[in-house]
C-alpha cells in the first residue's frame, strides 16, 4: 500500500522500522519518536493498532490458492455485514441494503483485481 492511502494515526512498517502516520507527509518512528518526511508514493505495510492482534497475525505467504483467497474475501464480507448490524444508531433498511451492495461490489472488484494481477504477473 502507498503511504498516502494510510489514515492519520495508522501504524505501518517502512524501511525496516515501525512508524505512526502523524500528517499527510510525516511519520513518527515508534522506537525513538523521530519524525520523518515520507513520500506519498512510498510503499508501506500497514500494521494493526491492537497489540494483541499484532502478536496473533502471522505474515502472509508469497502465494495463496485462489480458493483460499476467495473464501477469505467472502468471510470478510459476512463479517462486515454482521458488524453493520451492530451499529448504533442502527441503520435503516435502505441503508443496510445500500451498505450490503457496496460491500459486495467492493469484494467483487477486489477479486477481479486480484485475478487480473495474477494473470498479468
Give the residues across from 37 on adjacent strands.
26
Residue 108, in any domain of the structure = yes
Q: Are residues 70 and 116 in the same domain?
A: yes
Q: Are residues 84 and 51 in the same domain?
A: no
Is residue 107 scored above 80 in pLDDT? yes
Q: Are residues 75 and 104 in the same domain?
A: yes
Residue 96, in any domain of the structure = yes
Residue 61, in any domain of the structure = no
Residue 90, in any domain of the structure = yes
The fraction of the chain above a pLDDT of 70, given in percent, is: 89
pLDDT at residue number 53: 53
Cα 49 from Cα 64, distance rounded (Å): 25
| Domain extent for 32 | 3-56
Name the more confident of 49 and 3: 3
Cα 24 from Cα 9, distance rounded (Å): 10
Mean pLDDT of the chain: 87
Residue 106, in any domain of the structure = yes
For the chain, what is the radius of gyration of the CA atoms?
Answer: 18
Residue 73, in any domain of the structure = yes
Please say whether the beta carbons of 38 and 14 come within 8 A. Answer: yes
| pTM assigned to the model | 0.51
Cα 69 from Cα 21, distance rounded (Å): 29
User: What is the domain count for the chain?
Assistant: 2
Amino acid at each position: 500500500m502507498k503511504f498516502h492511502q494510510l489514515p492519520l494515526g495508522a501504524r505501518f512498517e517502512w524501511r525496516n522500522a515501525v512508524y505512526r502516520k502523524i500528517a499527510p507527509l510525516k511519520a513518527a518512528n515508534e522506537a525513538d519518536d523521530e519524525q520523518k518526511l515520507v513520500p506519498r508514493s512510498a510503499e508501506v505495510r500497514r500494521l494493526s493498532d491492537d497489540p494483541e492482534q499484532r502478536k496473533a497475525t502471522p505474515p502472509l505467504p508469497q502465494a495463496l490458492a485462489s480458493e483460499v483467497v476467495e473464501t477469505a474475501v467472502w468471510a470478510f464480507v459476512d463479517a462486515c455485514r454482521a458488524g453493520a448490524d451492530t451499529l448504533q444508531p442502527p441503520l435503516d433498511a435502505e441503508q443496510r441494503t445500500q451498505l450490503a451492495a457496496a460491500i459486495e461490489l467492493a469484494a467483487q472488484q477486489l477479486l477481479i483485481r486480484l485475478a487480473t494481477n495474477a494473470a498479468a504477473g
